[in-house]
Amino acid sequence: MAKKINLNLSEVQSREQRLGTIIAWTGSASELSEKSSYERRGDGCGKNKGCRLCEAKGPFTQGSVCSEQMVECQAGNVRNAVLIQHAPIGCGAGQVPYNSIYRNGLAMRNHPVENIGIINTNLQEDDMVFGALNKLKQSIDDAYERFKPEAIFIGTSCATGIIGEDIESVANMKEKEYGIPIIPLQCEGFRSKHWSTGFDATQHGILRKIVKKNPKKQEDLVNVINLWGSDVFTPMLKELDLRVNYVVDLASVKDLEILSEAAATVGFCYTLSSYMAAALEQEFGVPEVKAPMPYGFHGTDEWIREIGRVTNRSELAEKYIEKEHKRVKPKIEELKKKLKGTRGYVATGSAYAHGLVQVLRELEVEVDGTMVFHHDPVYDSGDIREDSLGHLIEHYGDVKYFNVSNRQQYQLYAFLKETKPDFMLIRHNGLAPLASKIGIPAAPLGDEHIAIGYEGIINLGETILEILSHKKFHDDIKDHVKLPYKKWWLDQKDPYIFAKQPELIESYLE
């Protein structure tokens, strides 16, 4: 594999530069796959004309999150470590929900429950004029004194990016003083148009400063790059006599150190795992399992087989596949009968959405529409086996209304009106109220592992049945609330009309 990731640099390259990421597009899944040209991009076609994927850029955004917030939910969730947000206090608002998620995640994984280790430097107006490196130094001293951490992360913000704070020099100085990794993470909100670059920024810092450079290999250890979900990978990989090293969320600093010692790296979603997995293979010789994601029968079969091949456990892999097919198929047949004629909609991150559609179609749920928050035309390895959108289309069929929309609620209304689903699957709860207001129950998948593997097909089917049982409640909401949009927009058939005709905004606001 050609060298693509440079860990000598302190800053990670943004997704739009590295992968060609877009945040607005409309058409069918097959059209997007064709225009993405995954295989050609994997061979480096970015240097040639005709490989740019155009997006439907709107003149405004209704709401989203940023790369700094993803650093907060990644580096801030490392046990035995502290994250310093070198930022105004408003950037620390996410500490409240992330503390709840962190505590719940620890409980789910049977770790001691504790509060999240994040502090904020509380930048003021004077700091923006005169600089705030002394405040950062004091915060590092305070973090070390109070928590005695094994590592300290420093997350930048739009404010520190604007005034050009030299975070790197302070981190290096304090690292020598305290003898622990102190890791600057360049993650200003305006650095990238999509928050997923924040995942890469955290992983870049971990790879540079924490991962062991001279590893002692453990042939039965597999890195699983994930978020906070329940422990579904341990029982799956135990069938192949493999142990799991969960990273980044809820991992300890020592778990991060041994990333380079593993026999392989896998993930539940290529959006999250692409950068770290490719870098571990490139820099430390840890093979990335290049296979479809473990959703539905075909994806899970191929994923298990590839893990078996990479770890020399192919015979165990085949036994496990055969056993699980026999176990789950009767239950899935029952779920199909109960879900017959049901129409679903998926609104989540990109690769995760591809996997969820696969599981819905295993259950024979109709899926005409999907909204993904961004789209990566290629992932870091460039390997065609990781083309999750292409895999969905080839093995589970096209999606007629496939929209890329960066969590824009005003567009989601039109998407749902167009496809008229019976329910919606989401990952970010902020979208659920709008669905309820038009009578559509939504399943907020707080446990992102719910649909993984063979058991995941059953889990998702049962979750859908549960939310459909609340349909009357959502119909009541629909009958008693008013949507916050003018009739002109409610009657509008093109959710991207502002991108095509931005001049309409002035007349719309009159």
pLDDT at 54: 86
Residue 144 contacts residue 152 (beta carbons within 8 Å): yes
The domains located in the chain, with CATH, are 67-188 (3.40.50.1980), 221-311 (3.40.50.1980)
- What kind and span of H or E run contains 223? strand 221-226
pLDDT at 446: 85
464 contact partners, CB below 8 Å, separation of at least 6: 339, 342, 344, 363, 365, 423, 443
pLDDT at 339: 97
Query: b vs e for 182-192, b when ≥16 Cβ sit within 10 Å of the residue's Cβ?
Result: bbbbbbbbebb
Relative orientation angle of helices 95-108 and 67-74, to the nearest 10 degrees: 30
CA R_g for the chain:
23
Q: Token digits for 364?
A: 């024979």
In 65-105, beta strands by DSSP E: 81-85
Please state the length of the chain.
Answer: 510
Report in angstroms the alpha-carbon separations of 267 from 227, 248, 274, 356.
10, 11, 8, 15
* Residue-wise pLDDT tens digits, 227-247: 999 999 999 999 999 999 999
Residues with pLDDT less than 70, the chain? 1-3, 46-50, 508-510
- Using alpha carbons, select from 377, 501, 376, 503 the residue that is nearest to residue 51: 377
Q: Tell me how far apart the alpha carbons of residues 241 and 229 are, in angstroms, rounded to a whole number.
A: 22
- Using alpha carbons, select from 171, 236, 167 the residue that is nearest to residue 210: 171
State the amino acid at position 45 in one-letter form: C
Q: Tell me how far apart the alpha carbons of residues 88 and 85 are, in angstroms, rounded to a whole number.
A: 8
Q: Tell me how far apart the alpha carbons of residues 467 and 492 are, in angstroms, rounded to a whole number.
A: 29
pLDDT at 1: 41
State the amino acid at position 198 in one-letter form: G
pLDDT at 347: 95
Q: Token digits for 147?
A: 């928590």
